[in-house]
Structure 1
């Protein structure tokens, strides 16, 4: 049998985190290094790999708050992760830390520490419904975007403003301010119908990562739900990757 399909063989690279292609993450587990990944994101694996849906996570869950719904992958082998053909990007986290919209996390090193923080608690705004991860330590995290992202540098003399529905991640060291774009009651945003649109203003030294989409991320899609279902708009209120 012959086909160009047979050219898409496994990439043989050494790093624990690597890209099979721009939409498929390849992670090596070797008995000493586990990986935390988004539940349901495994598309294939080889070797002796175990999947634990209730891992003892290295993150911090505040009492009464949601937590990121992850599974632990351990053993010896190679695991491939993807989520509805979103673009995958590997980021090396250093001592400066990274703040990420939790909707866009595909996988992360177990050596990293993460904490769930809500925007409304950070900025005193009620009802926005947005959750971020504060990721610190040394290790790698795989992020997803809907389309090719834009990396915007932030400097003391050049601050950046981003629509809150398009921002994916930013340097934790940045100063962040949140403000309403409009007071129109007809504005709809994926993180809850607040009656207002929100933007984040970044100041300091670092970067902000933006995706070319303001719609619900495809991980909230419903198969067979039509166009609205593809973007999670027919899901019950409160549906997300978080569980109580």
Structure 2
């Protein structure tokens, strides 16, 4: 049998996470420590002896969901094998969690169970019910795989270099950054989605670190729910020192 399809074979690796292509990730459970927590339904294939378990029995995660309104449903992947993960052909990016990343859980594909999970709040000058006031923070030794709709952009924040971004386009940012929600216009139309200017609510970032945005202001597929997550990345990451 001959076909160009046979050029698309698994990419060999010795790491915990390896991109097979921009939209498909291999998680090797034989590498690293602990299990992998992945979005339920994200597994497209696996090989070896892998056990998939629901995370609903995890009390700490249920508390996070209750307090932050998180809708991210996780499954635990453990055993001796490799799991291939994807989500609606979105682009996948792997990074170190380090001292903290903040990211909307709608854009989380998987992360190491060794990471700490917490809740952070966005300082909002006004009450915006749909802005997502509470978000998740991942910290510690381990990696996280994030999703974007298209190729993302990483913006650096530093002294005298503040960044504002559309809240619908923001994926993640360094936990060291100070954040604030603000309206781009004083028009009464701002209370409608995108208001009179055609723009939604903005997030302002101050301090030292990085912000990850995607080239889309559209919401993810309708089954993706959740608030925001927080991460500070090193190496190939969104690293930054605490202010």
TM-score by length of 2: 0.80
The root-mean-square deviation of aligned C-alpha atoms, in Å, is 2.4
Q: Mark the CA change 1:142 to 1:58 in structure 2 (over 3 Å): closer, same or farther.
A: farther
How far, CA to CA, are the matches of 1:38 and 1:62 in structure 2?
A: 16
Residue 56 of structure 1 aligns with which residue? 58
How far, CA to CA, are the matches of 1:83 and 1:62 in structure 2?
A: 23
How far, CA to CA, are the matches of 2:164 and 2:131 in structure 1?
A: 20
32-41 or 159-168: bigger deviation: 32-41
How far, CA to CA, are the matches of 1:74 and 1:20 in structure 2?
A: 20
**1:83 aligns to 2:87 (yes or no):** yes
CA contact (8 A) 1:50 1:75 kept: yes
CA contact (8 A) 1:60 1:115 kept: no
Residue 9 of structure 2 aligns with which residue? 9
Counterpart of 1:6 in 2: which secondary structure?
Answer: helix
CA contact (8 A) 1:177 1:200 kept: yes
Residue 238 of structure 2 aligns with which residue? none
Residue 167 of structure 2 aligns with which residue? 164
**TM superposition shift of 1:113:** 0.9
> How many pairs are equivalent?
215
C-alpha offsets along residues 64-123 of structure 1, whole Å, 9 cap, x if unaligned?
A: 43343111001110000000000000011112x11011110000000001124454xx43
How far, CA to CA, are the matches of 2:159 and 2:139 in structure 1?
A: 23
CA contact (8 A) 2:183 2:190 kept: no
Residue 226 of structure 1 aligns with which residue? none
172-181 or 142-151: bigger deviation: 172-181
CA contact (8 A) 2:190 2:200 kept: no
**TM superposition shift of 1:201:** 0.6
**1:175 aligns to 2:178 (yes or no):** yes
CA contact (8 A) 1:59 1:115 kept: no
Residue segments in structure 1 that go unaligned for 5+ positions in a row: 190-195, 222-238
Q: Aligned match of 2:193 in 171, 188, 191?
A: 188
**1:216 aligns to 2:201 (yes or no):** no
Counterpart of 2:225 in 1: which secondary structure?
Answer: coil
52-61 or 7-16: bigger deviation: 52-61
CA contact (8 A) 1:154 1:203 kept: yes
Residue 34 of structure 2 aligns with which residue? 33
Between the two structures, name the one with larger relative contact order (CA 8 Å, sep ≥ 6). 2
**1:139 aligns to 2:124 (yes or no):** no
Residue 113 of structure 1 aligns with which residue? 116
CA contact (8 A) 1:176 1:203 kept: yes
Residue segments in structure 2 that go unaligned for 5+ positions in a row: 228-243
